[in-house]
Every structure is written in structure tokens, then in C-alpha cells.
Amino acid sequence: MSTAVPTSPKAGKGAGAEVGIALLGYGTVGQAVYRLLTENTEDFTHRIGGPVAVRGVAVSDASKPREGVDPSLLTEDAHALIARDDVDVVVEVIGGIDYPRELVLAALNNGKSVVTANKALVAAHSAELAEAADAAGVDLYFEAAVAAAIPVVGPLRRSLAGDKVKSVMGIVNGTTNFILDAMDSTGASYDDMLAEATRLGYAEADPTADVEGHDAASKAAILASLAFHTRVSYDDVYCEGISSITAEDIEAARTAGYVIKLLAVCERFTDDAGVEKVSARVHPTLVPRDHPLASVSKSFNAVFVEAEAAGRLMFYGNGAGGNPTASAVLGDLVGAARNKVHGGRAPGESTYANLPIAEFGDVRTRYHVDLHVEDRVGVLSEIASKFALNQISLSAVRQEEFNEGARLVVVTHEASENDLAATVDAVKQLPAVKSVNSVIRLEGE
């Protein structure tokens, strides 16, 4: 288990020394990074303590014309670029996992510090990358991997380094927030608002990674690892997307005073046996309308942190886009380059707490269960008894006429996923229950 301790503090190159940059990738983010870096050279020189020079830009096809970049800098041989003696910091903004992993490892093993915006890579391979950075005594920065321009990694690593984080809840995917917010404000269906998001460029042609929560799950893994000083990887995150959320769910949420958000929820808790554990999960979540996360609209992101001494903090802003992502990448680049000039290292991976990751069935939250039932005497009592049998107490019950029967909405107090699942199974068996319309978790009260 590695710790926050750098293994080999490095001497700097000395004030005024030039720092060589290799830029891997020239998509939207790469272009913004290159443009801002070359437009503001004097600012960067002052902030770093020496000039920066881009040694090369690795792309898949160097013959293709690229706007804004000196063509002589383009190369298809990323490995050769990384290996150059005059490259100190490698910026990876390619995306994907396998190829960038290979390049980032090559860079770290070569003694170059790395700045990456790649959440999928960091969430899948953090241990391997952190160990390579530690072995070489260099920095691995990834502020842009979570919520783009919003400083979250830095505050968790540094500002809260003297505190104990209890939970992190975030809206960390702009596409899904845009869709859910549009459904909430228009009453339209998921499919229509996904189409709108695609039309406006908020959703990709294949929106799976966003709408099924995979992108948010990568970010949840990164947030939980930082917050709890414990390695949490993508595979440890329970993940449920928003594609099954209906206009009726949104309407029911509104009636009950909630809004539905796709949240990444990371928690530290003590289980029944007194063992401290952590969990990370991503799922559609009911949030009270007066909670700060409820008013995060459109494609904005926000991360809500609760720490023992600090109390509740929220960080809000643009969670995607070329310029906002470049802002975070360039902040990291200044940090990495500064350390190359002046010596010292950024805080590395910190996994000393090494808390066990809870089984998802042991995670506790509250639930909003929406049922279609027969409209006759005794139904409520039959259903309520199933909740009681599993020791789940109810905080609210609402019944209304619906579709030749009744709609029954039950809001529970805190219960475990296992107990809730057993209850829903039992309720489904009841002859009086026509269907379970939805089960949505509830946070923030």
C-alpha cells in the first residue's frame, strides 16, 4: 500500500530554466491547451518561474491540417516525443484507456511528470500509475478528470488534508444533468430530451457512457479515493444510469418536493459490526428542492463535500468543454512545471487508510417506491407489513386514484439495499400489487 510520502524528492532545474512540454492529443481540449499556453506565455513564465516550450504535439495523423499549431510540432510517434530529453512534463488529453495508459506509464517511467484529463484511465489504473509516479519521484496530476474546471481534486488533496471527509455527493456528468433538468422543466420524455441534448451537442452520438452512468462512476472512484485515503477503482462503484427515468418519475418527484439528479455518492460509514467502511455509487437520486445540488441546472456540475471540521462545502461550475477542461489542465501544468523548476513534489496518491469497500447490499439510504396497486380495502396494510417485516420504517405514504386502481408512493427512512431489495421482491408477490413503477434512492435530507 503506497502512502502520500514521495519516495525521492527531486532537486529542481533552477529558477529560470525552460520546461519542455509534450502534448498528447489535439482534440477540443488539446487545442484549447495549446492555444492558451502559447497566447499567455509571459503569464506562464512568471507563474512557473521559467519559460515553457511545447516540444511536440502527438496526433494520430500528422499529415492532416490542424488549426492553430505549428505543423513542424506534429508527430505520430508519441513514444519518441515522450522520451526526448528536453521534455519534462507530458500532457495527456487523448481519451480512451489502453493507449493513453501505455503512454502515461512510459512518461512516468521516463521521469516525466504527467498531467491528464482522463477520468477513465485514472479510475481504472490509479494504483499502477501512482506507483510508477512514486518510483520515479515525479508528479501525476488529474484535476481535469473530475468536473473539468471546478477545483475538486486540489481541494480534496490539499485544502482538506487536515480534515476528515464524511461524504462527497456530486453532479459530475453534464449530459445527464442537462437531460434530467430539461425533463424537469418541460415535462418531456427521456427520449425527447436525449435527442435535444444530442442536437445541441451536449450528448455524443453514442451516449452510453454518459447516460448509463459509466463516466460518473469513474469520477466517483476518483473522488472516493481522494476523500477517504483508500483505493477505490471503477469496478468498486455501483452504477445505475438515467435511461429508465420517465416523465412520470420526474412528476412524482416534483409533487413530493424533490428533483431527480444523477449523483455520484461517496460515503464513509460505520457498519453494524462497528467496522468503518467506504462506498461509492452512481444512480438517479431524489434531492430535496431546497438542497444546493437541486438548483444545479443545465450541463453544470457541482460537488458537495461534508467534512467533520469544515462542515458542508460546495464547488460549482462548468464540468465539461474545451476551455474549462484546459483551465484545469493548465493549472496542473503550472504545478508540475513549477516542481520541475524549483524541486519538490505534489502530494501523491494517499491510500494509508485502506478502508474496506462495503458490499453494496450493506449501503444504507432512503427510498421512494412508486407502486401501481388495486384500489381496495387492506392493500396499504398488506404492503406496509412487508416493509415492517424487513425493519424498514416509512416516512411518508401517498395514495391517489390511477389507471383502474391506485398509485401508492412510499418514502422510507434509511434502510439497507439488501432489506429494500427483499421488501420490493415481497411486495411484487402480493396479488394486490399490479406493478412496481420505480424505486429511486433519496439523498440530502
Question: Pick from 111, 343, 356, 361: which binds a second copy (CB under 8 A)?
Answer: 343
Q: How far apart are the first and last CA of the chain?
A: 36
Closest CB 352 distance from a second copy, rounded Å: 4
- Nearest-approach distance from CB 292 to a second copy, in angstroms: 7
Q: Residue 326 interacts with a second copy (CB under 8 A)? A: yes
Residue type, position 111, single letter: G
- 160 lies in the site for a second copy, by CB under 8 A: yes
Q: Tell which positions 12-71 bind a second copy, by CB under 8 A.
A: 12, 15, 32, 36-37, 40, 43-44, 46-49
246-285 positions binding a second copy, by CB under 8 A: none
Helices (H), 84-186: 98-109, 119-136, 153-154, 174-186
Annotated binding site: 119, 204
For position 288 contacting a second copy by CB under 8 A, the verdict is no
> Quick check: 135 binds a second copy (CB under 8 A)?
no
Choose, by CB under 8 A, the member of 3, 109, 243, 395 that binds a second copy.
3
Q: Is residue 116 close enough to count as binding a second copy by CB under 8 A?
A: no
CA–CA separation, 5 and 349 (whole Å): 8
What Cα–Cα distance (Å) separates residue 384 from each residue in 393, 401, 408?
9, 18, 11
CB of 430 to a second copy, least distance (A): 43
Q: Which is nearer to a second copy, 95 or 317 (CB)?
A: 317
Q: Does 151 bind a second copy (CB under 8 A)?
A: yes
Q: How far is the CB of 229 from a second copy (least distance, A)?
A: 7
Residue 90: name the closest of 158, 139, 155 by CA.
Answer: 139
Q: Which of these segments, 3-11, 216-224, 263-271, 432-440, binds a second copy (CB under 8 A)?
A: 3-11
Which residue among 279, 318, 390, 416 contacts a second copy (CB under 8 A)?
A: 318
Q: Is the distance from CB of 288 to CB of 142 less than 8 angstroms? A: no
Nearest approach, Cβ of residue 60 and a second copy (Å) = 25
**Is residue 344 a contact point for a second copy (CB under 8 A)?**
yes
Cα 317-318-322 angle, rounded to 5 deg: 155
Half-sphere exposure at residue 302, Cβ-oriented, CA atoms within 13 angstroms: 17
Stretch of 62-70, 183-191, 346-354, 355-363 lying at the interface with a second copy (CB under 8 A): 346-354
The question of whether 219 is a catalytic residue gets the answer yes
Residue 318 bridge partners (DSSP):
300
Burial of 324 (0-12, 13-18, 19+ CB in 10 A): buried
Are 105 and 128 a contacting pair, CB within 8 Å?
Answer: yes
Instruction: Tell me how far apart the alpha carbons of residues 261 and 290 are, in angstroms, rounded to a whole number.
Output: 13
Should residue 9 be labelled a site residue for a second copy when binding is judged by CB under 8 A?
yes
Catalytic residue among 112, 219, 277, 386: 219
Contact flag: residue 105 with a second copy (CB under 8 A): no
Asked if 316 is part of the footprint of a second copy (rule: CB under 8 A), the reply reads yes
Sheet with 52-58, strands from edge to edge, namely 74-75, 52-58, 19-24, 89-92, 113-116, 140-141
If DSSP codes are grouped into helix, strand and coil, which group holds residue 441?
Answer: strand
Torsion, Cα of 304, 155, 216, 419 (10° steps): -50
Q: Does 82 bind a second copy (CB under 8 A)?
A: no
Grid cell locating 422: 427483499
Residue 25 — left, alpha, or beta (φ > 0 → left; ψ -120 to 50 → alpha)?
left
In the window 377-416, what residues touch a second copy (CB under 8 A)?
none
- Map the footprint of a second copy across residues 352-381, applying CB under 8 A: 352-353
- Judged by beta carbon, residue 313 or residue 426, the one nearer a second copy is 313
Instruction: Give the three cell numbers for residue 420.
Output: 429494500
170 in contact with a second copy (CB under 8 A):
no
| Residue list for the binding site for L-homoserine | 204
Helices (H) and strands (E) in the chain, counts: 14, 17
Instruction: Check binding of 307 to a second copy (CB under 8 A).
Output: yes
Location of C-alpha cell 512510459: 106
Q: Rank residues 154 and 241 by Cβ distance to a second copy and give the closer one.
A: 154
Q: Which is nearer to a second copy, 232 or 427 (CB)?
A: 232
- Nearest-angstrom CA–CA distance, 370 and 436: 6
Among 92, 143, 249, 419, binds a second copy (CB under 8 A): 143
Q: Please tell me whether residue 138 adopts helix, strand or coil conformation.
A: coil
- Total residues contacting a second copy by CB under 8 A comes to 70
Answer whether 82's CB lies under 8 Å from 371's CB.
no
Q: Among 203, 239, 240, which residue's Cα sits nearest to residue 221?
A: 239
| Binding region for a second copy (CB under 8 A) | 3-7, 9, 11-12, 15, 32, 36-37, 40, 43-44, 46-49, 143, 149-151, 154-155, 158-164, 229, 292, 295, 307-318, 321, 323-324, 326-335, 338-339, 342-345, 347, 350, 352-353
Q: Which sequence positions are flagged as catalytic?
A: 219
